[in-house]
Amino acid sequence: MMIFAIAARELRSMFLSPLAWSILAVVQLILAYMFLVQIDFFMQIQPRLPGLDNAPGVTEVIVAPLLANAAIVLLLVAPLLTMRLISDERRNQTLSLLFSAPVSMTEIILGKFLGVLGFLFIMLLLISLMPVALLTGGSIDYGVLLAGLLGLALLLASFAAVGLFMSTLTTQPTVAAVSTFGVLLLLWILDWAGSGRSGDASNLLGYLSILRHYEPLLKGVFNSADVTYYLLFICTFIVLSIRSLDAERLQH
């Protein structure tokens, strides 16, 4: 109950700032361009497709690359959305409103998380309208589309959890944004280490890489291990955020 009150306020405040609107507009514009490029590409290869064995369908050619690109674009954008969650309240000294209200740290963090997640899911909804628009000209593979959207949703939630944690650590939103971006980028390129070789270390790093678990979902492969990876990832950073916020009251 309190969680939703905090989430609703967070979401509302986001839409009261021009940042949220401009991010929505820019992301939509860039992804729409990428989407059109993919459609163009599909139109070019379409005549040759019937001749191929196991030819890729419209979903594989257009939707999967679109969602893959969306993940990269949102990796760049998510830190800007999450940076203000706690750090800005700390800077404006509004945190004491939440601290002196009968609300637990867990409720505060979950409320903030759901608030920003709400915004990210609105963005996801806008992005998913593009593949759905393909229905006007043909049919798409719903399984692949839904698996891809689920993957993107989990990925966005992970971005939000990391960003929220970074925001609890600092008073400066920009510092939170930069460190969130650093962590996300590192998690993305983690599997580059020793990518040519095989071995336990590179397997482990590859396994930890945040985008590695996204690829199967884009292909329509729903593997519970990948989903579990994201859920664990999100839980970890939420617990860390709660601990970090709680530490604010304690000795330092």
Partner 1 sequence: MESLARVENLYRYYGDICAVHDVSFEIKRGEVLGFLGPNGAGKSTTMQIISGNLAPSAGLVQINGIDMLDQPKLAKAQLGYLPEQPPLYRELTVDEYLGYCAQINRVPGGKRRAAVDTARQRCGLTEVGRRLIGNLSKGFQQRVGIAQAIIHSPALVILDEPTVGLDPIQIREIRALIRELAGEHSVILSTHILPEVQAICDRVQIIHKGELVLSDTIAGLLRRMQASSLLAAFRRPPAGHELESLAGVQTADPLPDGRVRIHYDPQHNPAEALVQQSVSQQWGLYELIPERMSLEQIFVDITHTESTPDEQTQDQTGVAA
* Nearest distance in Å: CB 5, partner 1: 4
**Binder to partner 1 among 45, 49, 55, 97 (CB under 8 A)?**
97
Q: How many whole angstroms separate alpha carbon 112 and alpha carbon 34? A: 31
* Nearest distance in Å: CB 22, partner 1: 16
Q: How many whole angstroms separate alpha carbon 98 and alpha carbon 101? A: 5
Contact between 208 and 187 under an 8 Å Cβ cutoff? The reply is yes
Contact between 168 and 86 under an 8 Å Cβ cutoff? The reply is yes
**102 sits near partner 1 (criterion: CB under 8 A):** yes
Contact between 214 and 227 under an 8 Å Cβ cutoff? The reply is no
Amino acid at 205: L
Site string for partner 1, 46-85 (x = CB under 8 A): ----------------------------------------
**22 sits near partner 1 (criterion: CB under 8 A):** no
**19 sits near partner 1 (criterion: CB under 8 A):** no
**Binder to partner 1 among 7, 64, 98, 242 (CB under 8 A)?**
98
> What does the longest C-alpha to C-alpha distance in the chain come to?
71
* Nearest distance in Å: CB 17, partner 1: 7
Q: 220 in the Ramachandran plot: left (φ > 0), alpha (ψ -120 to 50) or beta?
A: left
**Binder to partner 1 among 44, 54, 93, 136 (CB under 8 A)?**
93
**94 sits near partner 1 (criterion: CB under 8 A):** yes
Contact between 99 and 90 under an 8 Å Cβ cutoff? The reply is no
Residues in touch with partner 1 (CB under 8 A): 2, 5-6, 9, 12-13, 16-17, 92-104, 249-252
